[in-house]
Amino acid sequence: MAFHPYLFFSDGRCKEAFTRYQEIFGGQLDVMTNADVPEGDRMPGVGDELVMHAALMDGGALLMGSDDPTGDGGPRVGSSVSYSAADDATGRRVFEALAEGGEVTLPYGETFWSKGFGMCTDRFGVPWMVGIDAPPDE
């Protein structure tokens, strides 16, 4: 069973956010804008630059999203995207990159369950939990 987060950006920043996520995580980024859709199937009343679908793929990992012209632009609450790093150095690097220009809600550091874990909301308003799978005693 696999679950894949799908992020909605009501502020028109989906392409900017996914470009940044590709810089942080790597992988292949595919972005389809309203201009890429056949004219009869485009969303009416929105610009050609609106992202209809974005996908960042790396092996079996998949993060998806789009611009949402119906959203109110408010903060995203009640969920977080969780990322598990292979090691502490990668976890710290990813956390710092995601937190840049955003807000740290729990600084990255050792916890009783992990050598590294932190929480932040990135500059695009997306909440993240970054950790590593190894317990602190390994």
Q: What is the pTM of this model?
A: 0.89
- Average pLDDT over the chain, rounded to whole? 90
Residue 95 to residue 21: CA distance in whole angstroms = 12
CA distances to 11, 23, 41, 57, 72 from 4, rounded to whole Å, are 22, 19, 25, 11, 23
Domain boundaries, position 122: 81-132
Segment 60-78 mean pLDDT:
79
pLDDT digits (tens, 9 = 90+) for 3-36: 899 999 988 899 999 999 999 999 999 999 999 9
Write out 18-45 in H/E/C secondary structure: HHHHHHHHCCEEEEEEHHHCCHHHCCCC
Does one domain contain both 19 and 42?
yes
Token pair recorded at residue 39: 């004219």
Percent of the chain residues topping a pLDDT of 90: 70
CATH number at residue 33: 3.10.180.10
pLDDT at 69: 75
Q: Where among 17, 36, 67 does a domain terminate?
A: 67
Are 12 and 58 in a shared domain? yes
Reported confidence tier of residue 76, pLDDT bands at 50, 70, 90: low
Q: Is residue 87 assigned to a domain?
A: yes
91 with 126, same domain?
yes
The answer to whether 86 and 94 have CB atoms below 8 angstroms apart is: no
Position 71 scores a pLDDT of 66
Q: What SS3 state is found at 128?
A: strand
pLDDT at 75: 62
| Number of domains into which the chain is organized | 2
